[in-house]
Structures are given as structure tokens and as C-alpha cells.
Amino acid sequence: MAKLVGVDIGGTFTDLLSIDDSGEVSFAKARSTPGDLTSGIRSCIEQAEIPLSDVKTLLHGSTVVINAVLERKGAKTALLTTEGFRDVLEIGRTNRPENYNLFFQKPEPFVPRELRFEVTERIGPDGGVIKPLDTGALEDMARKLKDAGVEALAICFLHAYANSDHEEEARNALQALLPDMYITTSSEVAREWREFERFSTAAINAFVGPKVNDYIDDFEGWCHDSGFDGNLYLMRSNGGVMSTPLGRKIPVTMVESGPVAGMIGAGQLGEAMGKPLVVGFDMGGTTAKASLIEDGFPRIVETYYVNGYANGHPLQVPTIEVIEVGTGGGSIAALDQTSSLKIGPRSAGSVPGPVCTGNGGTEPTVTDANALLGRLNPTDYLAGQMTLDLAEAERVMEERIAKPLGLDATKAASGILTIANSNMALAVRGITLEKGVDPRDATLVAFGGGGPLHACSVARSIGISTVIVPQMPACFSALGMLLADMRHDLVQTCPHKLNEEAIDSINESLAELEAEGRERLTESGASDDEIECLFYLDLCYEGQQWTLPTPIEASRLDKVALKAVRERFDELYEGRFGHSFSDLAVNVVNVRVVAVAKRARPSFPPVPARTEGKLSPTYRKVYFDELGFVDCAIYQRNDLFAGDELEGPAIIEEEVCTTLLNKGDRATVDPSGAIIISVGQERSNGHG
Amino acid sequence: MADTAIKEPKAAEVDPITLEVVRNGLLSTVIEMTENLVRTAYSPIAAEVKDFSLCLLDANGDVIMQTPHAAPGFVADLDKTIKTGLDLYGRDGLEEGDVIVANNSELAGQHLNNVAIYTPVFVGGEIVAFAAVRSHWIDVGGAVSGSMSSKSKDIFAEGIQIPTMKVYSAGKPVAEVHRLIETNSRFPDLVLGDMRAQISACRLGERRFGEMVRKYGLDAVKSCINRISDDAETVARNAISAIPDGVYEASCHLDTDGVNLDQPVPLHVKLIIEGSEMTIDFSGMSPQVEGPCNSRAADTIARLGFKFITAPGTPVTSGAFRNLKIVCPEGTIVSADWRAPMGWWGMTINSTIDLMLRALFPALPDGVTAGHTDNIGAGAVSGVDPRNGKMYQTLVPFTGAWGATSQQDGLSAVVSLAQGDVRITPVELREAMFPIHIEQFSLRPDSGGPGRNRGGLGAIMVTKALAKCNYDSRYERTFDPPWGLAGGKPGKITETYMTHEGSDEKIDLPLTAHQFVFEKGDTEHLYGAGGGGFGNPFERPVEKVQDDVVKEYVSLEQARESYGVVLDPDTLEVNAAETEALRKKLMDSAAG
């Protein structure tokens, strides 16, 4: 049976999900080994008893890039740059994001100053050559790089987005002299202006390049030895997948994989169920993540900060917009110096973990709060892997939180969840309302170990009326990979006034990007008729800086399309910011082409309708804010059939995941296996 | 008498859970407002540079919460503006949908570019709060493009003053006020665009705050706000109590007031710590000056310095300053007559805060930094762009350097104390937008003050004009360098010169240039000051000095002369014997 397999390496676990032509699904989970990432995959494959020779397509998301960046374990990297601009990576944007912190430290560049070299050359903002490249200096440069033991080189010249000739020329010359050197050019990873952001992207690409190449070598070698001769794809930050040769060239586009794949899954699920507006909600051990998904695909951000804005490095890599808050199951609740109750961002992680898991945790966590309120099965936690120590959790809750605040342990636990849920709700609100989307029109798709447990409460507090809990919510990222298309987001800075005079130049850029996108896809095995291209202009009102990607309905601009795109921009702007300026001139900053090769979607087996018997829940005491402790119906997800209807308060348990319905919530089991929950409305207790 | 009592956290008059939910909701609101402003703002100075601030204020005009993600220089300075509006209109004179604009110097006390926009938040027909955004408008008229002349002698040369006016009344635009603003700026589109962005951010704040009040009730929200302020007070008191009681003073000079180039301006601060209270006394500051370094910003300056010391990690609320007393007679450089010129007020802010840190050094040796570059903006050119016939000006924040601390080297290439998350516009954008060519923008070796911990390096920026234009500048620390602490040495001073096209001859530039004419090809060479060092440079570990030389932060000569470290010029290996001998000799001669 030809199989489709998705493997997601996460921080703690590696998940594998496989589906064959008949719709047979299997799943495996193994611990991730940071030093040997492929070992987790191997044990998953062994566990699932999948002969690799049966696998037609293997999709893979890995933490190899993000680990290398965060742990700063990459290649010895040098930079070759325009004369006069040796310190772009170190100067950055000169800001100090922690306003009042006298001890703030800038993030350290990935290339130290002694390995940052200048060469005479200069391109102007219009792409014209101001000073030719001093090719004579390159031989000496090659010698210096070799003597210094440099393994990777980023070639970053000013205005290379407008003209990459010098970068290419320098690369060709140096590669000929240094055949083993891993070389990246800034224009190859990003063709947008803003030198610090682009140089940073190229430097990180070079820094991780050799390591990722070794990783792919290992992985492909092992695949080959195991008899695999199908297609291997890598998950990218833009929610698409790419072939391994491309992964070797632009590994920096793989920084985010797991969370992004989950959001792709959420979008596909929403689309399949006729929900155009979806919020993907993923809650794990240390954080909760959310993305806004419109018409099946999440929003993309142009600049992503790896390790966060204040202390991180910018990447000019289109990345699915995922906002993150420090509230996961392991997030610690603690009182600060003013006796205020704070949740996260510190997390107990998996070691020592929450107090109730008995592994030595000494501070109460969100999971402990859930456990004390009866929301987690105390005798069958994590698919029976452990029994919860509620007495110890209560003692710690009492001592650390309840007593100092003058509450009892139950009220403290419910308060912790209220605050955690409210923090997550603010994050979700941030990505909906702020962008002109009314949350009441959205559907929340909940996944990750904790997502379904908190989703209905989060949804209720911001007025989202529908929550969907997919099948296998705890390994939804691996599932999302199976649904991802091959995708390239190509961007070219191309500053113009949006008027008829610019049409030719814009069309030229569109054509170039389209050709490149098609080429990349066909090289990866897609046939021409599978390829679809989407065309955008990043527009702003004259004098503005921030741009909105605005779709062009045609593949090229003409007078009609020009007028249409202008009107569409006003509309989008109005939707997002509540006002627009149809009388102001509009500028084009970037031209953007998204090239997609759709992959066949696997079909999952439907859940049959109930033919006999009826729902027969068990009961245990569970606490709800407005009800106190009540006998709450507990259902097993495996026992549910299509069409079954459940009413909150209720709990649905399945392997490693729990879904909570509050009073007023009603759930239906969809034939697809997803649980669709109609969320009860929150009552306002305020005045007016 | 020292009041040593630390205010205990108050008993839970507010439900501790609702408190956190409201606290996080308020913070998230000001952050959302900030993002909205950044995305909709017109001029680069708001969108890329983030030279703005915003906050929510209560019905009396006291700050509830200020955004943590913008220029810290505007700390808690919007209250007076809103209180004045309340006095002027009265509560009955304000309607839902009103938008008020103000920048007049008597009220705002800072340069006229900083224009406040605010809106009342109504719930159930009653004002429950205000949303406010102050943002640097790129030009509000006056003698020079950008409105910041380094030579102006009164406020009237610096642009238009808008003395609290409604720019929207009950949701309808007031056409006269729009026309007035439009007519008085060299860049009316940008200015009006920024104003719209400010309004849009305020509207978002109104909606969010209104939703919160409707959800939890006004009384509950008010109690939470009071508790948030009390908490901020507790944190501030704890921080001050940790500083030994005493009187701490420091002095320095501004290079010039901009007009009288040969007369340094004396600055002096006196800080008195008594228990959990701090008094900041500006009585010793220079009297008001002729040039534009004046302000009426004593409160803002004091609060900003206080914030650095007391509670760097928490958002600003009015309660954070209850244990701060400010003493400042009228007529000083920070409490000037409203008619005094204020275009370059920021120079005085930075130096004064820097002084506060210096004054506290004996009390808080591990809690302060050595001297900073204390500049605000790099030299700017302006004119008409021959490519499109439009007026332009190129102001960007100055790339400065920070002093070292007892724990670490100073930061290189960063904005000043008052600027925080303010960001420089990328070279690629500047060259695309303006007729300039930037030949160099890199670190300035040897500029950091030597010390056990080295001061940060300043930056070199070389900018060539591609068309005839006017050059304006106002640089600081051109005579007195950023100071060292604990035996650390000062950083290099700020230096600048110009060259003509095709010539290497260095021509002096005035340190405060006013509409100085640059011909096509004229080039400004700016060498930014470095931060002061901390501790004895001869105690800097030899391998750190060596690493600095390898990285060319420090030259071989400076390693030898300032750090007593001898390296082989070819291999950069340490010559241990010579180093030991040289360090001993230099230390002996320093001691002798």
C-alpha cells in the first residue's frame, strides 16, 4: 500500500502520522533526542511498523534550523559586504527595545567582526552600478577565508535586491576558488530592501547551511538504505513544503515548521467544513499559539524575529503569522512582589513538570489547576502513563497561591485558569479584531495537548461561537504536513508609483518571479498543470512605510487590473484600519508571487453514524466557575459516532488530550470525525 | 526624617483574578494601539523610527497605562495635556467622537513637533477615560524644514502652536482646524496622515477600554486601575528604599545652547534619598538659554530618570511616581518661559538623565551606567528633490554609544537614553527616498572609553549630498566627552567635518549648523562619540583586550597606551612579559 507519511520533530516529542491509499491511518510518538534528531524518526517508523519501501511521499518538519540558531551551534561564518558597511549586522536598527533597561544587551551577530570583510563595489537604489566589483580582491579574500577556517560565507551587498549581479559575480568567483565553502547571497534569500534585515537573513542561512546539509545527507542516506525511493519534502515557515535540494540552499526558510504545519491543517479543516474564517489555536506545554486563517490559508508576515523582537534576529522570510503567549500546560503560577498573580512565561516543562505528575515539580502550573478542578482524568493521565498526585498539587496550590491571596485552593485554581484563558483570549483578539476581522464570524480550531481543554473558554470570552476539535488533536502538526502544498513565496522590491507608467516594469518583475516559482516547482517534480500562481503587489499610500499585500486578479497588470488593484487596496486598508484614502496616491513597494503546486489531499476515513446503543458517559466531580463542583459527564472519544450530540458541562477524553465543554456549550460529532462545538454566550456583568 | 516604611501591598479590595485580567487587558490595549499607529502612520519618523508615545488615562487625566513599545522620552507626560483640556472644555464640553489636538509650548513644554492627539472615552454618556497619542510630526512650520532649527531664539521660529483645539467635534471633522494644520506644514500630506493614524489608534483605545468597562463594570475597572497604580508605587518604593539615604549631586556641561557657541551650558542635579522617597532638585540647572535647548519638561525628565532606576520592567502608570518629589524653580533650562526656543530640548533631557545616573553612582555602583553619547539626531539635509520636485528632509536618530557598567561593556551603536525602541531608517530606504549617497556607516574604532569594562563604540556615518541642499545639525559631547566611572576613562568626543566632491581636504563644519548650504557632492563625515568606560582599564582581562584588537574595536596603539596590553602586530598574540611590565609602569605612574 503506498503510504503518505508526515513526521514532525518537536521540542519534546517526534510525531509520525501515516495514511495509505485505503485511508488506513497510523500514528507513532517517540521522544526527540536533541543531539540526534533522526533517531526520533527512526524509532517512530519502527514503532509504526512502516516499511519505508512502501512510502510514496515523506513530509518532514524539523527543529534542526531553529535549534542551531537558538543554541548558536552552526558553521564558522564570514560575511563579505560593501565597502563602508562592515557593521550592518552589529549596528542593527540602533534601537533598544527594552526602554528602561540600563543593562539591555543587543543580540550578538552570527558573524563576529573579525570575519566581516569589505570589498569595493556599489550598486545604487535604482540598480545602477556606482562602483564596479573589485574582482581582483577576491583571490586574496579567498585565501583569508581559508586561513581563518571559515566554513560558510554570506555575500551581502547594498541594494542587491535591485541588482544582484555583483553578489552573483562574487559568489561565482569565490565558489570556484573555494569549492567546499557553503556560500549564500543576500539576494538569493530575500529580494527586499532594508539591509540589516536582509543581511541578517543571509548570515543565518549561511550559519545553519552546512549543518542542515549534513542533516539532509544523514536523513536521505538512511532513507535510501531503508529502501525508500519516494519523494521527500521539507516543511517551511511559509506553510508549504519544498524539495531537499532547495532545502540545502535556503534552509533559513525552515525555521518554523511544526506550529506552522498545525495552522495549515486548521485551515484545510476549516475549508473542508465550509468555514472561511478560522483561528488556529495550539496549546502545548510552554506556550499557546494562534493564527488567523482566511479562506484556508493563514496570514503571512514578511519579517519574522527568531527568538522574539527584543532579543532576536530578523529574518526576511515570509512566515505564517503565529502569535505566541507564554501560557501552556506547564506554565507556572506565582505571586510577584506586589502579590499579584502571574501565569508564565516560566514553565515547568516536562522536567520537573507540573506538581501533580509527581516528578519533583514544586510550583503550581496550569495543568495542576486543571487537575485540581477535576478536568483531567487523575487515574488515566497521558493515556494511562501516569496517575496524578492531587493531594500534593492541592498542598502546593494552597501554600503558594491560595493562602497569600485569601482564597481556597479551588478558587485559586479556577483563578489561574481564568487568567490563563484571558491571556490567550487577548492574543486571539489581537490577531482578529486588530486586523479588521470580527471574532464572532470566526471558528476556532483547537489542537495541541491543551488546546481542546481551554478552547471553549477562550472562545466564549471573545465571542467566537464555534469551536472545532479535529481528530488526533495532539499530533495535528504531523497531520498538517500531509495537507501542505509545495509553495514558494517570492518577493521583489520594486519601488514605483502605482500608475500606468509602472505597468511594464511591474509586469517584468511579475514574469521573472513567476518563471522562478514555476522552475523551482518543476525541478521538484511538479507538472505544469499542477502549478498555480497568485500575484500580489505590496502597496502603501505615498509616504507610508507599511505595506499591504494586495492581490491582483490577473497574472499581469493592465489598465483595468491597475484600477482594480487600487480599489482592492483601499478596501483592504479600510477593513484593516477602519479608514482609507481613495484620493491619495499609492506606491508599489514589492511585487509578490506565490507559486503553489497542489498535492493530492489524503482522505481520512469517516466516522460511522450510530446504529445502536446510546451515549453512556461516566461521571466525576468537575469544577465550573458558575456551578461549583458538579457531577460532570465524561465521554470517551473512541465511543462517539457521527451525529452524537453532547451538552456541557461535559468532558471528552481521548489519548493524551481532553476536551472541555462549559455549561451552555453543545457539541456534535461530524461524520469527518471532528467535534463541532457551538459555544454558549458570555453574560456581561457590567453596567451599561 | 527618613520614612523607611515600605508600603505593604494593600489587602485584596479587588478580586485578584479580575485584577490580572484587567491589567493584562489594559497592557494589551496600549500595545494594540501602538501596532495600529505604526502600521498606519505616514511619515518615516513615526512608522520606522517610532518617535511617539501613547497611553490610556483615567477620567481625571492621570496615566493608567503607557505603551512599553515606543520612545521612553515621553514618559508619563500626557497627563498635563489632558487635564488642561478638561479644564478648558469642562466635562460637559466634551462629546463622544471629539478629537483634541495640542502642542503649545506652555502646556507640552517640549518641541512643537511633538503633537498630542487625544479622545475622551464615553460609556453610558459619561467620560470614563482618555486615549492619547503624542507623535513627532515631521514638520510644523517655522524657520527650517523639520522645524528644529539649531539657532532659533524663540518658540515662534519653531512652528505653529495649536493650543488645545478640537479637530473632530462629535465625530465630524472640524474643517478650519484641518486647514490650519495643512497650511502650516511643509509636508501637509505626511502630517495629516500621521494625525489620522494617531486618531485611529485613539479610537481603538476607546473601543477596547469601553468593552472592558461594559464587561466588568466601571467600579471594578476603577478599583483595578487604583490597585495597578498602588502596585507600581510599591515597586518604586522598594527600589528607592534599597538605595542608601543621602544627598547625591553631579554636574556637567552642554557644549553650547546652539546660539552662543563659545558658552558651555552648566547642568546640575541634586538627588535626595530619604527612606522610600526620592527628591530630584533642578535648582542648580542653568537658567533658560538663548538657543533652543530649553524645555518645560522638568517633570518628564525626572520621571524618566526615576523609571530607569526604580522599575525598568513594568509599564508606566501614574502611581509609579508617587514617591518622587520634583523641585524646580521657574526659569531654568528645564522650566523655561513658554516663549523660549525648544527645538532641541532633547539634548538637555539626555544629559540630565545621564547626570542623575552619575550622581547615584556612589549609592548604586552596580546599578548605573557610565556616560553616554547623549545626542538625539544626526545632521540632516533638506531641499527639493530634483528627481520629483518634492521637498524632503533626512532626519534620522543619532547612532550613539552607551557607557559601561560594573558588569558589562557599554552598548555600541544605539540610540540615546530617551529614545529606547526608536529605530534608524535603513540606508537602502534613505538612498531610495532622498537624493543622498551614504558612503560609510560602521563602528568607530577606539571611540569607546577604556575601562575594566569598555564603553560602547560610536558610529561613523559619511553622507554625500547628490543635489544642492541645506544642512542642519546639532551635536553634543563635542567638547566634554562621555564620562567614565570608577576609574574608567571617557569615550571619544563627537567630531564632524565636510569634504567637497573629488577632494580629501577636511573642512570644519559648524557643530550647530543652521541652513548651511551643501553643494552637490558635499559630504558630511560624522564620527559619533563613544561611551565612557567603567573601572580601571589596566584591570581589563588581557584576553578581552586582545579580542577587542582582533575585532578592531580597539587599535594596537590604544591597547598599549590605554590598557597596557602589548600584542604582536602580526600575529596579535599577547606579549605577556611586556604587558606585565607596561601595566605595572602605567599603574605606578597613574598612582604617582
Residues B529, B472: Cα–Cα separation, whole Å: 19
Percent of chain B with pLDDT over 90: 75
C-beta neighbour count of A173 within 10 angstroms: 17
CA torsion, points B179, B180, B181, B185, in degrees to nearest 10? 100
Q: Is residue B376 part of a domain?
A: yes
Identity of residue B357:
L
Say how many C-beta atoms besides its own lie within 10 A of residue B135's C-beta: 29
Write the pLDDT tens digit of every residue in A526-550: 898 899 999 999 999 887 777 889 9
| pLDDT score for A546 | 76
Predicted pLDDT at A324: 87
Residue B4 lies in a domain: no
Question: Which one has a higher pLDDT value, B50 or A27?
Answer: A27
Identify the residue whose cell numbers are 506565582. Answer: A334
pLDDT of residue A310: 85
Total domains in the fold of chain B = 3
At A687, the pLDDT band (50, 70, 90 cuts) reads: very low
**B471 and B410 in a common domain:** yes
Boundary residue ending a domain (B516, B535, B554): B535
Which one of A94, A325, A458 would you mutate to disrupt binding with B, by most B Cβ within 10 Å of its Cβ? A94
pLDDT digits 0-9 by tens, B59-87:
999 999 998 877 777 767 889 999 999 99
Rg (CA), chain A: 26
What is the C-alpha to C-alpha distance for residues B136 and B295, in angstroms, rounded to an integer? 16
A38-47, pLDDT tens digit by residue? 788 888 888 8
Residues on chain A touching B204 (C-beta within 8 angstroms): 434
B301: in domain: no
The whole-angstrom separation of Cα A395 and Cα B99 is: 54
Which residue type sits at A383? A
Q: Measuring CA to CA, which residue among A481, A555, A486, A483 is closest to residue A520?
A: A486
Alpha-carbon gap, residue B35 to B54, rounded angstroms: 11
Half-sphere exposure of B348 (CA within 13 A, CB side): 39
CA nearest A675: which of A648, A636, A642? Answer: A642
- According to the model, what pLDDT value does residue B45 have? 63
pLDDT confidence tier of residue A633, bands split at 50, 70 and 90: very high
Q: Which residues contact B584 (CB under 8 A, 6 or more apart)?
A: none
Domain boundary residue, one of B182, B201, B232? B232
Domain boundary among B232, B259, B291: B232
Separation between Cα atoms, residue B152 and residue B259, nearest integer Å: 8
Is residue B349 domain-resident?
no
Asked if the bond preceding B188 is cis, omega within 30° of 0, the reply is no
Strand partners, B272: B247, B279
Range with the largest mean pLDDT of A315-329, B62-76, B279-293, B498-512: B279-293
Is residue B319 included in any domain, yes or no? no
- B420 and B465: one domain? yes
Residue A433: the pLDDT is 66
> What are the residue ranges of helices labelled H in A445-502?
451-462, 476-483
C-alpha cell at position A206: 549561511
Q: CB–CB of A94 and B24 under 8 A? A: no
B66 and B110 co-located in one domain: yes
Strand-pair category, A650-654 with A628-636: parallel
Q: Residue B411 and residue A105: Cβ atoms within 8 Å? A: yes
Which residues on neighbouring strands pair with residue A467, listed in sequence order? A444, A677
Q: How many CB pairs under 8 A join A and B?
A: 233
pLDDT tens column, B106-120: 888 888 999 999 999
Per-residue pLDDT tens over the stretch A454-473:
999 999 988 999 999 999 89
Q: Which residues of B touch A104 (CB under 8 A)?
A: 411
- Better pLDDT: B521 or A26: B521
In this structure, the answer to whether residues B566 and B446 fall within a common structural domain is: no
Q: Tell me whether residue B125 is in a domain.
A: yes
**B552 shares a domain with B445:** no
Mutate to test the interface with B, among A79, A86, A100 (most CBs of B within 10 A): A100
Q: How far apart (Å, rounded) are the C-alpha atoms in residues B194 and B43?
A: 7
Residue of B nearest to A415 (CA): B17
Question: Under CATH, which number does the domain A256-482 receive?
Answer: 3.30.420
What are the strands of the beta sheet with B516-518, ordered from one edge?
B391-393, B380-384, B469-472, B516-518
Dump pLDDT digits (tens) for A588-628.
999 999 999 988 888 778 899 998 888 999 999 999 998 99
Question: How many residues does this entry show for chain A?
Answer: 688
Q: Looking at the domain assignment, is residue B393 inside a domain?
A: yes
Where does the pLDDT of residue A474 fall: very low under 50, low under 70, confident under 90, or very high at 90 and above?
confident
pLDDT digits (tens, 9 = 90+) for A338-355: 889 999 888 887 778 899
CA distances from A621 to A329, A372, A376, B330, B374 (A): 21, 10, 11, 69, 63
Instruction: Determine the 3-state secondary structure of A302 from DSSP.
Output: coil
A112-142: pLDDT as tens digits: 999 999 999 999 999 999 999 999 999 999 9
pLDDT the model gives residue A684: 45
**Residue B4: what pLDDT?**
39
Instruction: Provide the residue range defining the domain that includes B198.
Output: 16-232
CA–CA separation, B70 vs B74, rounded Å? Answer: 9
How far out from the chain centre does Cα A66 lie? 12
Cell digits for A329? 500546560
R_g of chain B computed on alpha carbons? 25
Q: Which segment, A281-290, B59-68, B522-531, is predicted with the most confidence on average? A: B522-531
Angle at B189 between CA B184 and CA B195, to 5 degrees: 80
Asked if residues A158 and A130 have their Cβ atoms less than 8 Å apart, the reply is no
Amino acid in position B454 = R
Amino acid letter, B118: Y
Q: Please give the pLDDT value at position B6.
A: 40
Q: What is the pLDDT of residue B43?
A: 67
CB B375 within 8 A of CB B495: no
Q: Chain B: residue nearest A402 by CA?
A: B16
Q: Report the mean per-residue pLDDT for chain B.
A: 92
Q: For residue A419, which residues of chain B lie inside 8 Å, CB to CB?
A: 17, 20-21, 24
Give the N- to C-terminal CA distance of chain A in Å, as an integer.
63
Ordered DSSP codes for A342-353: EEEEEE-TTTT-
Q: Is A536 left (phi over 0), alpha (psi -120 to 50) or beta?
A: beta
Of 1.10.760.10, 3.40.50.300, 3.30.420.40, 3.30.70.100, which CATH number belongs to A3-69+213-253? 3.30.420.40
Reported as a pLDDT band with limits 50, 70 and 90, residue A688 is very low
CATH architecture of A73-212: 3-Layer(aba) Sandwich (3.40)
Residue B308 distance to chain A (closest CA, Å):
5
Q: Is A295 exposed, middle or buried (0-12, 13-18, 19+ CB in 10 A)?
A: exposed
ipTM of this complex prediction, to 2 decimal places: 0.91
Q: Which amino acid is at A238?
A: N
Q: What share of chain A is helix, strand, coil (3-state, %, to 5)?
A: 35, 30, 35
Please tell me the distance in Å from B358's CA to the nearest CA on chain A.
Answer: 13
Which phi and psi angles does B53 have, rounded to 5°? -150, 160
| pLDDT tens per residue across span B534-571 | 999 999 999 999 999 999 999 999 999 999 999 999 99
B117 and B27: one domain? yes
Do B208 and B84 share a structural domain?
A: yes
Asked if the structure places residue B333 within a domain, the reply is no
Q: How far apart are CA B197 and CA B38, in angstroms?
A: 8
Q: Tell me, what's the pLDDT at B48?
A: 63
Which three three-digit cell numbers place residue B583? Answer: 601595566
Cβ–Cβ < 8 Å for A274, A240: no
Amino acid of residue B283? S
B563 and B523 in a single domain? The answer is: no
Q: Are A125 and B428 within 8 A, CB to CB?
A: yes
Q: Are B566 and B483 contained in the same domain?
A: no
Q: Is A553 exposed, middle or buried, given 0-12, 13-18 or 19+ CB atoms closer than 10 A?
A: exposed
Residue B1 has pLDDT above 60, yes or no: no
> B546 and B528 in one domain?
no
The 3-state DSSP class for residue A412 equals: helix
Q: What are the tens digits of pLDDT across the range B437-487?
A: 999 999 999 999 999 999 999 999 999 999 999 998 889 999 999 999 999
Cα A370 from Cα A17, distance rounded (Å) = 28
pLDDT attached to residue A337? 86
Q: Are residues B505 and B521 in the same domain?
A: yes
* Pair A15, A188: CB distance under 8 Å: no
**Cβ of A543 and B25 within 8 Å?**
no
Contact A578 B16 (CB under 8 A): no
What does the pLDDT look like over B321-379, one tens digit per residue? 999 999 999 999 999 999 999 988 888 999 999 999 999 999 999 999 999 999 988 88
Provide the β-strand partners of residue A538: A549, A590
- The DSSP bridge partners found for residue B154 are none
Residue with grid cell 540552499, as numbered in its chain: A249
Provide mean pLDDT across the span B385-413: 93
Residues B41-46 have a mean pLDDT of 68
The string of pLDDT tens digits covering residues A377-427 is 988 776 667 789 999 999 999 999 999 999 999 999 999 999 999 999 988
What average pLDDT does this structure show over B97-113? 93
Mean pLDDT is highest, among A292-296, A667-671, B103-107, for: A667-671
pLDDT at residue A150 is higher than 70? yes
Domain A486-597 has CATH 3.90.550: no
Number of H helices and number of E strands within chain A?
A: 17, 35
Search chain B and give the residue with CA nearest A86.
B442
Query: Are A426 and B28 an interchain contact pair (Cβ–Cβ within 8 Å)?
Result: yes
Please give the average per-residue pLDDT across A521-526, as a whole number.
Answer: 89
User: Using the 8-state DSSP alphabet, how is residue B317 labeled?
Assistant: -
Domain(s) of CATH 3.40.1360: residues in chain A: 73-212
Work out the number of other CB atoms within 10 angstroms of the CB of residue A616.
Answer: 9
Using CA atoms, how far apart are residues B303 and B391, in angstroms rounded to an integer? 37
CA distance A107 to A161: 25
Contact A544 B47 (CB under 8 A): yes
pTM assigned to the model: 0.92
Encoded amino acid at A559, one letter: K
Calculate what percentage of chain A has a pLDDT beyond 90.
Answer: 68
Looking at the fold, whether B448 and B506 belong to one and the same domain comes out as yes
pLDDT in tens, B123-172: 999 999 999 999 989 899 998 888 888 788 899 999 999 999 999 999 99
* Sheet strands (E) in B244-352: 246-254, 265-274, 277-281, 324-327
Q: How far does B357 lie from chain A, in Å, by closest CA?
A: 10
Q: Which chain A residue's Cα is nearest to B392?
A: A543
What strand order describes the sheet that includes A231-235? A25-31, A13-20, A3-9, A55-61, A231-235, A241-243, A486-497, A586-597, A531-541, A548-552
